[in-house]
Amino acid sequence: MPAGVIARRPADAPNDSREAGTSLRFPSREDESRRERLTDGLPEVRPCNEVSSVVSRTGLGRFVIVAACTAVFAIAGVGLFVVVPESLTQLFGILLALAVVVIGIRIAGNIARSVFPGYNVAEVAVDGPISRDGGGGPLPSSPSATPADDIVDQIDRANEDGNVDALLVKLNTPGGEVVPSDDIRLAAERFDGPTIAYTTDLCASGGYWIASGCDELWARDASIVGSIGVIGSRVNATGLAEKVGLSYERFAAGDFKDAGTPLKEMDDDERAYLQGLIDDYYETFVERVSDGRDIDAELVRETEARIYLGEDAHEMGLVDELGTKRDLEDELADRLAIDDVTIEEFEPPQPLMRRVGGGAQQVAYAFGAGISGIAEDRGFRLRT
Q: What are the catalytic residues? A: 205, 257
The sheet carrying 121-127 orders its strands as 321-322, 216-219, 195-199, 166-172, 121-127, 343-345
- Residue 244's identity, in one-letter code, is V
Q: What distance in Å separates the CA atoms of residue 230 and residue 210, rounded to the nearest whole number?
A: 14
Q: What distance in Å separates the CA atoms of residue 82 and residue 17, rounded to the nearest whole number?
A: 73
Distances (CA, A) of 252 to 237, 259, 269, 374: 20, 11, 16, 27
Query: CB under 8 Å to 298, separation ≥6 — which residues?
Result: none
Q: What distance in Å separates the CA atoms of residue 56 and residue 64, rounded to the nearest whole number?
A: 12
Q: Are residues 263 and 248 in contact, defined by beta-carbon separation less than 8 angstroms?
A: yes
Q: What distance in Å separates the CA atoms of residue 58 and residue 89, rounded to the nearest whole number?
A: 41
H helices present in the chain, as ranges: 29-39, 57-78, 90-115, 148-160, 178-190, 206-211, 238-244, 268-293, 297-302, 310-316, 325-336, 352-357
- Residue 15's identity, in one-letter code, is N
Nearest to 213 by CA among 157, 279, 292, 271: 292
- Residue 91's identity, in one-letter code, is L
Q: Are residues 344 and 123 in contact, defined by beta-carbon separation less than 8 angstroms?
A: yes
